[in-house]
Amino acid sequence: MTPDNKHSRLQWSDHFSVGIPEIDEQHKTLFNLIDKIHTAILERKGTAACAEVLDELVDYTRIHFGLEQSLMHMGKYPEYDAHCVLHRELVTEVESLQSKIHSGQAAISFELLHFLRTWLTKHILGEDMKYAAFFASNELSGFNAWAERSSKVVNAHQKKWWKRLKFW
């Protein structure tokens, strides 16, 4: 998928891997949720169905950002503050769109989908790859062990535990 083609599907590839298993798994989940919105639009499932998936995407994104930020903080990533600002800006923008959709002032469209896909791919390939390179160059291999342990814990719980957490 090229982000410039707003009607093409977004698919994960190793090109997007940051080399931290839990982060990569969460990125795959974000890709899948965006693809669910794409499918709902194509199948004309309606605003309510699309909004439900968008809500899930927004909730999961908050959790994902929280994990990334905690890893960057623990690893003393020098661009931590700037990266957090990007996260807050996206959450604010998407929450505003989410509110408009729920109030009937906007609809989920290919333009919204294009925005989400473009932001995600550019963010991973640009900003996230920076912290991945920082971790790799500083041999912060302990994060991989932590990520594997956290992944086992997350997979052991089938409930969407992340929906109950609020970071913003």
Q: Could you state, in chain order, the average pLDDT of each consecutive group of 10 residues for the chain (168 residues)?
A: 59 92 91 91 84 89 92 90 95 88 83 89 95 82 57 55 49
Contacts 24+ apart (CB under 8 A), 70-73: 71/20, 71/23, 71/131, 71/135, 71/143, 72/131
CB 41 within 8 A of CB 113: yes
Length of the chain, in residues: 168
Least Cα distance to 20 among 70, 87, 60 occurs for 70
97 φ, ψ (degrees, to nearest 5): -65, -40
The model carries a pTM of 0.78
Least Cα distance to 9 among 39, 54, 47 occurs for 39
| Contacts with 101 (C-beta within 8 Å, 6 or more apart), sequence order | 47, 50, 51, 54, 107, 108
CB 19 within 8 A of CB 136: yes
Instruction: Look up the CATH superfamily of 19-138.
Output: Hemerythrin-like (1.20.120.50)
Six-digit token string for 8: 């093409």
pLDDT of residue 140: 61
Give, in degrees to the nearest 5, the angle at Cα 160 between 52 and 165. Answer: 90
